[in-house]
Amino acid sequence: MLLRRYFNNLKLIFRTNELSKVKKADIILMSGDHDLGYRLNNGKKYAQILDSLNLILNHFNFYTFSIALPGSQIFGSKTFSSSISVSGLIYRAHLLERIKSKLQLGQFFEGNLIVNTWLRILSKTKAKVIFAIQPTPELCIAANKLGINVCDYQHGVISAENYYGFCYRKKFNNLGWPNYILCWDKDSKKWVEENISSNSVPVLVGNPWYLIFKNNLFKDVFSKGFEIKNNLTFKNGPIILITLQWGLENDFDNNEIGVNKFLYQLMLNKHLSFNWLLRIHPVQFNSETYICKIKELLSSLENVEWEVASSLPLPILLRNIDLHITSHSAVTIEAESFNIKTALLNNNHAILYDYFGSQINKGIAEIVEPTYENILDWINKNIPSNNIYFETNLEINLINNFLSNILNLKKNE
């Protein structure tokens, strides 16, 4: 798998016709392979955040164009947005920048070569705004030079780790922040205000993936997606969603598919009246070995379903479950919008409070010591969950107001 990816990346370096495919547009959207977590009925990959935003932007008559983030293997006809790739241009710039640094040839080149390449690409688009998932510092610096506003759209937990930490931009002297960070909820916006608002402006706009299902929009795109499939032959009893995260498969507390070993024992207990929906991370779909192991461990369990749970839009699942259990998935934030309680099983409590301190303080999420008895006790105490509600911040006009009032963009006639 790694060898194949290496050769695919090597091929990208020699692609030479990418700049000719760049088009003019008011708004550019950029997402990568990891963001393409949903597959439409026609087989095309769909980025829940930015493709949903794209539908909404087109609904408001904004002209958009999609570019795959560098390193993406999925683009063009494989994607709903028909995104183009610029990986060859960026990879060559990375290679030359590394050679320049190693040989100390800075006097022969003006500026950072990666930034300069983004300048060439973005100049051709004539865009006013870029929406991206964690846009790189080089991209942000280039866009800033051209007067293009860059908006990082929240796609999970916002914390001081990695992208939102200052070390990420150390070599650029802390330059290269997006102009705006678009937040799903008030708690995420508050974190940005308290921690990095001197670098990026937080704006509350809601989660576009949820806006679509709340407002029953674009049913022609999702066809059957608005109703849960009828092949869930569960017995009477609560439905519990387990969301997995890639990279936990070899953790001491988890089994080979990344499920906590005590939670897995509960799933095996046929005397319990629980029904389990196991949602695997999109990255895990890329591993044939992992999928084979999932089938091996779960195929004989009548009260466990993973294929439907992993393929349906998450908002549909959250409409139809009673409780949510995870290690530390951002679905905890999304479940809150449906008033679904979450059990957090990660032993690193500092991370849990960093990620979900607000949800824990509200009681909508709870840290549960991962033992058989504790997990079972938490489930029994929290069933049934409360009625579903949507927060008022999930209004579709928030996005339009942001574009019109803050960025001073006007709808196309």
pLDDT tens per residue, range 131-169? 999 999 999 999 999 999 999 999 988 988 889 988 888
Fill in the DSSP letter of residue 254: B
The verdict on 325 and 204 lying in the same domain is no
| Domain region containing 138 | 2-217+396-406
Can you give the CATH number for the domain in which 124 is found?
Answer: 3.40.50.11720
What is the DSSP secondary-structure string of 65-109?
EEEEPTT-S--GGGBTT-PEE-HHHHHHHHHHHHHHHHTT-GGGS
Within a domain: residue 412?
Answer: no
Kindly tell me the sign of the dihedral angle through the C-alpha atoms of 355, 358, 359, 361: positive
Q: Residue 229 and residue 316: Cα distance in Å, rounded?
A: 10
- The reported pTM is 0.79
Q: Is pLDDT larger for residue 11 or for residue 375?
A: 375
The verdict on 183 and 281 lying in the same domain is no
The count of residues in the chain is 413
- Strands 149-153 and 129-132, how do they pair? parallel
Can you give the CATH number for the domain in which 230 is found?
Answer: 3.40.50.2000
> Please, are residues 260 and 372 in contact by the beta-carbon 8 Å criterion?
no
Within a domain: residue 413?
Answer: no
Q: Residue 212 and residue 214: Cα distance in Å, rounded?
A: 6
The verdict on 402 and 353 lying in the same domain is no
Tell whether the model's pLDDT for residue 2 goes beyond 70.
no
The verdict on 206 and 318 lying in the same domain is no
Within a domain: residue 387?
Answer: no
The verdict on 252 and 150 lying in the same domain is no
Tell whether the model's pLDDT for residue 312 goes beyond 80.
yes
Q: Is pLDDT larger for residue 5 or for residue 326?
A: 326
Question: What digits encode the pLDDT tens for the residues 81-129?
Answer: 999 999 999 988 888 888 877 777 665 566 789 999 999 999 999 999 9
What is the separation of C-alpha 310 from the centre of its chain, rounded to a whole number of angstroms? 14
Residues 6+ apart with CB under 8 A from 26: 62, 63, 64, 127, 128, 129, 409, 412
Residue type at position 16: T
The verdict on 92 and 204 lying in the same domain is yes
Tell whether the model's pLDDT for residue 403 goes beyond 90.
no
pLDDT at 385: 52
The verdict on 305 and 176 lying in the same domain is no
Closest of 241, 209, 398 to residue 315, by C-alpha: 209
Within a domain: residue 389?
Answer: no
Within a domain: residue 368?
Answer: yes
Within a domain: residue 391?
Answer: no
Cα torsion at 348, 353, 355, 361 (round to 10°)? 140
Q: Residue 232 and residue 321: Cα distance in Å, rounded?
A: 12
The verdict on 232 and 115 lying in the same domain is no
- Strands 149-153 and 180-183, how do they pair? parallel
The verdict on 212 and 301 lying in the same domain is no
Cα torsion at 53, 59, 63, 67 (round to 10°)? 30
The verdict on 353 and 401 lying in the same domain is no
Tally the domains of the chain. 2
Within a domain: residue 11?
Answer: yes
Within a domain: residue 121?
Answer: yes
Question: What digits encode the pLDDT tens for the residues 253-310?
Answer: 777 788 888 998 999 888 888 999 999 887 777 777 888 888 888 877 888 888 888 8
- Strand runs (DSSP E) across 94-220, as ranges? 129-132, 149-153, 180-183, 201-204
Instruction: State the CB neighbour count (10 A cutoff) for residue 62.
Output: 20
The verdict on 202 and 255 lying in the same domain is no
C-alpha angle 33/71/121, rounded to 5°?
A: 110
Averaged confidence pLDDT in the chain? 84
The verdict on 252 and 351 lying in the same domain is yes
What is the separation of C-alpha 196 from the centre of its chain, rounded to a whole number of angstroms? 20
